[in-house]
Structure 1
Amino acid sequence: MGIDIERVRDLTPGCAETAHLNNAGASLPPQPVMDAVLGHLELEEMTGGYEAQEQAREAAENFYTAVARLVGARPEEIAYVENATRAWDMAFYSVPLAKGDRILTTTSEYSSNALAYQQVAQRTGARVQVVPDDEHGQIDVAALADELASGDVRLVSINHVPTQNGLVNPAEEVGRLCRKAGALFLLDACQSVGQLDVDVTRIGCDLLSATGRKFLRGPRGTGFLYARREVVESLEPPFVDLQAATWHAPDRYELRPDARRFETWERFVAGQIGLGVAADYAHDLGLPAIEERITGLATTLRTALAERPGVTVLDRGERRSGIVTFTVEGRDATELKLALRERQINVSVTQPRDHGYDTTAPTAAVRASVHYYNTEEELGRLLDAL
């Protein structure tokens, strides 16, 4: 059964006026998510933050169940974190790295992650190696297998969907190779959760980070971390508080045995509740239906753009996502973004500094990222405006 597009647009007030094609930046939240967030903020307004948190305990706890169900995990393998960057940081900086250990990544890696690799490599003596692309522009699985076979690989850390070129990395094949080699696998899924049918068991990752604000359509300032139960106790978070650990004595503490060792006590409670509602909303629509709708719209847009004189579509990958990137001859990408916004069409711009390992990127490119609530008419508005 497909998605009732008219119904989801009715529950997305922003669709009434704006063609929102910046879902890889932040999606328009559905009304149930907004109702949950605003409802809790109003409760805080009337009763106080601590008191509201106690009253909303069940709604907040639903976050763990909802997100676990969405990605095929167990509730105890999910941590609530304030954003995808912090979720990824908590995972990466918990991996015990030493001199001679290797970190393998991909050319499409996000520069924030690459900065963390450099910092830890300089601190510990670990080495960072970029696995080359295959002929489709995604991570070369054969080259990855060769690197894993040569030894000393402590961590494979890649993105599932890059921010800048439309491809979907073959995460399941990477997971299979990592399991065989005994290397930890950290997957940055901030652009895939909510638009693809992401299942951590099928992928075989040990750690996965994601955000609420992008394709999951949750509140901004929310995210989560998946940490596989079998690896949690081998990972010590880079910092802890009384949420992550129990104080036993002046010289002794005990970390939680589950993924919540990566949490901090203070949090955006309304956001946690809203993110749980967003996960339930996506699950109820059906991830396969969401993926089919997004992929179809993106394919339609790429095809139409490629037929336009002076337009160059930059997307790569054997499998492609809802992110469509392109340039227009003689036009600055930021100038185009602003001109489109005046026509109530939202897009974004991707810059080379955002993905420093990718030497094939142009100066800048327009990024149009579709969601299931977008329509063919909205794609037409973008094309007409160009």
Structure 2
Amino acid sequence: MNTDKIRQDIKGLSDGKIFLNNAGSSLMPQVVLDSMINYLHQEEQFGGYEVANRNAELLEQFYDETAKLINCKSSNVAFATSATDAYAKALSSIVFKERDVIITTVDDYISNQIVFISLQKKLNVKVIRTKNLSDNELDLEDLEHLIKEYRPKLVAVTHIPTNSGLIQNVESVGKICRQYDVLYLVDACQSVGQLEVDVEKIGCDFLTATGRKFMRGPRGTGFLYVSDKVLEQNYAPLLLDMRGANWSEFDDYELFKTAKRFEHWEISYASLLGLMEATKYANAVGMQEIENYNRKLSEKLRQNLKNSRFNVWDWGNNLSSIVTFSGPDGDLENIQKVLKENNVFFSVTYKNSALIDFTNKNINGIVRLSPHYFNTVDEIEKVSEILKNSLK
């Protein structure tokens, strides 16, 4: 992996910033922006219909590149405008009835938790959360016990929570779900693009992701993976349009065969093309190379922060490229001030976005740094030194 060449492909690094907010919204490679601008220029000249027809084969590469990224077939991939859009469409394809059960975790993403609570309020669906072990890993025995007891309609797990570096054991969850034939939904919003994600190994029925984070694509993009089993059982979003089905009779329709049935007919093809180029870029670099390099950066940063007496709040045995911390006295304000003064890009998460996790940790918020494969070890050392000096 040629980090120097990768950095040359990013105009956003030319002003000397240290960009460590890839878990929020990363920096696009130049080829992503160029492809989108070129496509929009074509639309300016010829209109959207004509340009879509002229670029039909190129646009189809989105499905091929995404399939390569997560180890599936192109027919299992649907474009989405965000991970939340993909997640909502997956959920809407499941016919929930009163007293159906959803099993999730205490570390599931805030928007997922809210939509589960919404289903609970509107449809009287029961939401149950699995326990965590003392080391913060998922209690798989508890999960299996809950599945046996409640026979849930769905198990849903966030691969990497937005508020913590924890990587949840989604593959072991998948084995249990397959054993008991339970639908399984994985939110891979923070994992796709920063580490290898293999849907065959995970064994999920649905998987959702965004383009703007570690994938380094444009905002307003994402994708949904739908398994063959789910497609063959005719799952489809509640609100279909002509992208998803053929109007076959006055009062009936026939679903199209692929995951594109989860798309809407009107989408931004310039954005889809941008995400295709971002995915193609990641595939070319190699996800195993990216994962290994990211682990090196995050481990270095995490250790440096601990050595400088910061409180690091990433609890678990398998940690990701999201590093969360606060000052020795729980301070966040001074850390933010110092990072801003030194042109370091970061984000902050407060208790309302991670209510259960932060309540258990007895904290009100964290600063989040999320290095990625275009960052350098020198940048990690520089930021570590800046933060260390802020405590003096």
CA shift, 1:322, in A, is 0.1
Structure 2: any 5+ residue segments left out of the alignment?
388-392
1:193 maps to what in 2? 192
2:235 maps to what in 1? 235
CA shift, 1:138, in A, is 2.7
Distance 1:81 1:156 in 2: 22
Alignment map for 1:38-187 (pairs within 5 Å): 38-187=37-186
SS across alignment from 2:104:
strand
Relative to structure 2, which stretch is displaced further, 148-157 or 324-333?
Answer: 324-333
2:365 maps to what in 1? 364
Relative to structure 2, which stretch is displaced further, 40-49 or 220-229?
Answer: 40-49
CA-to-aligned-CA distance 1:199-227 (integer Å, 9 cap, x gap):
00011011000001111111111000000
Distance 2:63 2:372 in 1: 25
Do structure 1's residue 32 and structure 2's residue 31 form an aligned pair? yes
CA shift, 1:38, in A, is 1.6
CA shift, 1:287, in A, is 1.0
* Residue type of the alignment partner of 2:372: H
Distance 2:300 2:42 in 1: 44
* Residue type of the alignment partner of 2:378: E
Contact 2:96 2:123 in 1 (8 A): yes
CA-to-aligned-CA distance 1:356-375 (integer Å, 9 cap, x gap):
33222411110000101101
1:216 maps to what in 2? 215
Q: CA RMSD in A?
A: 1.5
* Residue type of the alignment partner of 1:256: F
* Residue type of the alignment partner of 1:308: S
Contact 1:78 1:259 in 2 (8 A): yes
* Residue type of the alignment partner of 1:372: Y
Alignment map for 1:265-280 (pairs within 5 Å): 265-280=265-280
Structure 1: any 5+ residue segments left out of the alignment?
none
* Residue type of the alignment partner of 2:170: A
How high is the sequence identity, in percent, across the aligned residues? 37
SS across alignment from 1:210:
strand
1:385 maps to what in 2? 386
Distance 2:79 2:241 in 1: 14
Contact 2:211 2:220 in 1 (8 A): yes
1:313 maps to what in 2? 312
CA shift, 1:285, in A, is 1.1
CA shift, 1:338, in A, is 4.8
Alpha carbons of 1:338 and 1:227: their partners in 2 closer, same or farther (altered >3 Å)?
farther
* Residue type of the alignment partner of 1:10: Q
CA shift, 1:10, in A, is 0.9
Distance 1:7 1:145 in 2: 47
1:285 maps to what in 2? 285
CA-to-aligned-CA distance 1:295-329 (integer Å, 9 cap, x gap):
110000000000113x1000011100000000014
Distance 2:330 2:169 in 1: 34
Distance 1:333 1:152 in 2: 43
1:5 maps to what in 2? 3
Distance 2:182 2:24 in 1: 31
Do structure 1's residue 258 and structure 2's residue 258 form an aligned pair? yes
* Residue type of the alignment partner of 1:383: S
CA shift, 1:125, in A, is 2.4
CA-to-aligned-CA distance 1:85-118 (integer Å, 9 cap, x gap):
1001111121122223211111111111111111
